[in-house]
Amino acid sequence: MKTFLITGGAGFIGSNYVSRLLQRGEKVIIYDNLSRNGSKKNIEWLREVYGRDAFQLIIEDIRKPEQLNSLANEADVFVHLAAQVAVTTSVTHPREDFEINALGTFNALEAARNSRKKPVFIYASTNKVYGGMETVKVRETATRYEYVEYPQGISEEMPLDFHSPYGCSKGCGDQYVRDYARIYGLKSIVFRQSCIYGIRQFGVEDQGWVAWFVIAAVAGRKMTIYGDGKQVRDVLFIDDLLDAYDLAISKIKTTSGQVYNLGGGPKNMLSVWKEFSPRLEKLTGRSMNVASADWRPGDQRIYVSDIRKAQHELEWSPKIGVDDGIERLYDWVATNIHLFQ
């Protein structure tokens, strides 16, 4: 049995990972300020399924490191998921974004570095560290944008270009985590994650777009499509992401100090509306209530992860395809629509 310390453990990714860990008998410490949409509901769900004493919950902010330092001494694995996650919020509140994402990650790293157990350290980074990639050639088709020169997607060799305060703060953490492996020998791994989606995701308009569109479709809410709706992302179902986490931990001699792009890859990409809306209409049996708006600053025409490094070194590949994943999410939302009212 290992002890896992998970910052942001009440969030979408965190609560799903906690559930997986508890199922297999691991000890879990959740460190979360419960500020995110749905976090309290996720804690209630975990307690209902596994019992109130199945895990330890520390309600605290990642910007306050004192308690985090002592908790890190118990951890075999430190999973740092706590973050400010919306680009739009980072633009309006850049200081808060910096303090949570950059300073918060530094606090987590220092706690791990000074821990008696020298834990494995996983950092959830983002594809936003590559910026707008304005020099990458793109062509437009009837329903989507496509790369001209990157049929396998964007690899870890793409130059970093932090765009937006969010990109800067997450990118800062990304590079700190990578460098702590080189300078201090911390067993750290960076996952530059693309669009992760799945059950227990309380998506909103500016973050978690797959879940937000599904929630809005089920609830009959109005949706706003920014740009032309042909923007392309590769999507990865939550179970596949967590498989990668587990494999990276089990192969730490290989993965320590490494960076991996994690997403659905070329086989699991779709345009955010032109190709998504027909799927929603098929599932709901009705047309969507949609408004249009201008492009948002920094919105990439296309981002698709080249996942070949993770496939090779982790022996990992996504198992849940786009249609299957969206249907699973839709069924969960429809069954639990009371959670969104």
Which of the residues are catalytic?
166
Distance (Å, rounded) from C-alpha 305 to C-alpha 292? 27
Which of these, 235, 224, 321, lies nearest to 273 by C-alpha position?
224
Which H helix or E strand runs over 323? helix 322-335
Q: Do residues 162 and 171 touch, judged by C-beta distance below 8 A?
A: yes
DSSP conformational letter for 287: -
Calculate the alpha carbon distances from 48 to 44, 68, 259 in Å.
6, 26, 36
Distance (Å, rounded) from C-alpha 85 to C-alpha 97? 9
Token pair 């937000």 in the structure block, residue: 212
Token duo for residue 141: 């088709």
3-class DSSP state for residue 207?
A: strand
Q: Do residues 83 and 55 touch, judged by C-beta distance below 8 A?
A: no
Residue 29, strand partner residues = 5, 56
Distance (Å, rounded) from C-alpha 127 to C-alpha 191? 9
Which of these, 63, 11, 71, 65, lies nearest to 37 by C-alpha position?
11
Q: How close are the terminal C-alpha atoms of the chain, in Å?
A: 39
Distance (Å, rounded) from C-alpha 204 to C-alpha 236? 18
Q: How many CB atoms lie within 10 A of CB 132?
A: 17
